[in-house]
Amino acid sequence: MLSEELELQEKIRKLSIRIVKYYRGKGPDNVKVNINKNLIVIHIKGILSNLSEILVNQGACNEVKKYWKYIKPHLEDEFLDEVHDVIGKDFDYDWEIHNLENRDREIVIKINKNQ
């Protein structure tokens, strides 16, 4: 991997960790960043609030899905503005929760840098 990609990967990782720490109080071992050319994939273990974790553990996944509809736009605004500053160009993105109902749940953010 080129040093430029490694530097970008580390900047995105630090930004993601900051967001996770803000919402969950947890750090670096919960965030993994992979870069393949113009595609940046961020894997965040768990979900971004302690309340969501409690609700899922109590079987209230539908409540978390409703809650996510409200919190996701807030997170996107905050996070994506900073991503734009880091990568310095326009991009498309996708942001999803995978495996919400089991212990392997994670948020996956895919950022596709525009050419």
pLDDT digits (tens, 9 = 90+) for 30-64: 888 999 988 999 898 877 677 888 888 899 989 88
For 71, the token pair is: 């919190």
Instruction: Please tell me the distance from the alpha carbon of residue 115 to that of residue 113, in angstroms, as a whole number.
Output: 6
Average pLDDT estimate for 86-112: 87
Q: How many residues does this entry show for the chain? A: 115
pTM of the model: 0.80
Share of the chain above pLDDT 90, in %: 10
Three-class DSSP category at 99: coil
How many separate domains does the chain show? 1
Boundaries of domain holding 47: 3-113
Share of the chain above pLDDT 70, in %: 91
Burial code of 20-54, b = ≥16 C-beta within 10 A, e = fewer?
Answer: beebbebeeebbebebeeeebbbebbbbbbeebee
